[in-house]
Amino acid sequence: MSNSKTTNIIIAEDLQVKNMTKNHCLAKSIHDAGWSRFLSYLEYKAKKHGKRFIQVPPNNTSQLCICGADVPKDLSVRVHICPKCGYIDNRDIVSAKVIESRGLQLLSAP
Ligand SMILES: [Zn+2]
């Protein structure tokens, strides 16, 4: 999830919670987080305050660099290191930037 630079747009991954809960390792934490309810509430609040809320396809957001390079890593790898552009950061921060970029591209598409 990413709060764009303009702060008028909230961009989140369109995660398929039903599919994610098929993974028993992830299921409990996803249910505990009430992720679907959180997103519904976020959308409601965004619209109430005149902000845009959009969701983007979630595919590979954790496996891409902001330069567009594929940087495969499993869940145990917490630091993103891009062999193409040299960018190093926390993997979740990089994913948020990829999601933001994807959302802004979606909004600027004709
Ligand atoms: Zn890169």
Q: Give pLDDT tens digits for 19-77.
A: 666 666 666 666 666 778 888 999 999 999 999 999 999 999 999 999 999 999 998 99
The answer to whether 9 and 51 are in contact (CB under 8 A) is yes
| Domain range for 35 | 2-108
Cα–ligand 1 centroid distance for 69 (angstroms):
5
Give CA separation, 21 vs 15, 28, 34, 77, 103, in Å. 11, 8, 12, 22, 25
Distance 8 CA to ligand 1 centre (A): 27
DSSP type of residue 8 = S
Integer angstrom CA distances of residue 15 from 8, 82, 84, 89, 110: 22, 25, 28, 23, 24
Ligand 1 centroid to residue 82 C-alpha, Å:
5
Angle, vertex CA 88, rays to CA 39 and CA 14, nearest 5 = 20
Mean pLDDT in residue range 79-98: 97
Considering its fold, how many domains does the chain have in total? 1
Distance 91 CA to ligand 1 centre (A): 12
Q: What is the pTM of this model?
A: 0.79
How many angstroms does the Cα of residue 36 sit away from the middle of ligand 1?
31
Q: If you measure from the C-alpha of residue 68 to the centroid of ligand 1, how many angstroms do you get, rounded to a whole number?
A: 6
